[in-house]
Chain A
Amino acid sequence: KAGVTQTPRYLIKTRGQQVTLSCSPISGHRSVSWYQQTPGQGLQFLFEYFSETQRNKGNFPGRFSGRQFSNSRSEMNVSTLELGDSALYLCASSLSILSNEKLFFGSGTQLSVL
């Protein structure tokens, strides 16, 4: 069974640009969560999608958005990039039959904003 796939693996952008990251969950998993990881703040929850609906959102500005498609694949978008957006963005999937299931993380997208 293939794991969670995130593309691209690395991205370099400049301030003011926007970026779209992609995530394909494990087959059969319907919940996709996004996390931002930085050395200073650790793992911070961005949002979670299930059946194309955002069920949860973390404390990030509106520049961070996401969506989920009918095949459970998800994308997240960051507009008007700032230097502080440089981070590892991790996508995680789960079956989400229960609310406390373990997460399967992808390898992440390392975003550098110059």
Chain B
Amino acid sequence: GQQVMQIPQYQHVQEGEDFTTYCNSSTTLSNIQWYKQRPGGHPVFLIQLVKSGEVKKQKRLTFQFGEAKKNSSLHITATQTTDVGTYFCAGPTRNDAGGTSYGKLTFGQGTILTVHP
């Protein structure tokens, strides 16, 4: 079945350092979404990328969608302690007929980011 792999599993950085997490799908995605989950919290939607090669920025966060629409990355510049949490990528899951399944996202395992002040 469809798989979404995310690396690294853990990342420890000093405050002010940059951070990048990578996401790879076994199948082409119609779009990719990124979520952040703070410790003890629930996933919160960050952004959705739809177009091949798309790049979007949110302040210190830069999201990219690969040309083949099978990979994506999230880069955080100059991390802060508020960036601590787990970052998940997720893509719509294809059903057996090859279409997109409603409401069903396949999530990567997530990258746990810790930031040391």
Number of interface residues of A (CB under 8 A): 24
| A interface residues with partner B (beta carbon < 8 Å) | 31-33, 42-43, 45, 48, 50, 55-56, 58, 90, 92, 94, 96, 99-100, 102-108
Q: Which residues of A contact B57 (CB under 8 A)?
A: none
Contact of B102 with A56 in the complex, beta carbons under 8 Å: yes
B68 contacts the other chain (Cβ, under 8 Å)?
no
| B interface residues with partner A (beta carbon < 8 Å) | 30-31, 33, 35, 41-45, 48, 50, 88, 90, 92-93, 95, 99-110
- Give 8 closest A-B pairs by Cβ, nearest first: A48-B103, A43-B107, A33-B103, A102-B45, A105-B42, A99-B100, A42-B109, A56-B104
Contact of A90 with B42 in the complex, beta carbons under 8 Å: yes
> Nearest A residue to B109 by beta-carbon distance?
A42
Bound Cα distance A96, B95 (Å): 16
Known: A43-B90, A43-B107, A103-B43. 14 other contacts (CB 8 A): A31-B103, A33-B103, A43-B88, A45-B93, A48-B102, A48-B104, A92-B103, A96-B102, A99-B100, A100-B30, A100-B50, A102-B45, A104-B45, A107-B42
Contact of A50 with B105 in the complex, beta carbons under 8 Å: no
> Nearest B residue to A110 by beta-carbon distance?
B40
Would you give 21 A-B contacts (Cβ < 8 Å), ordered by A?
A33-B104, A33-B105, A43-B88, A43-B105, A48-B104, A50-B102, A55-B103, A58-B104, A96-B103, A99-B100, A99-B101, A99-B102, A100-B48, A102-B33, A102-B48, A103-B43, A103-B103, A105-B42, A105-B43, A106-B42, A108-B42
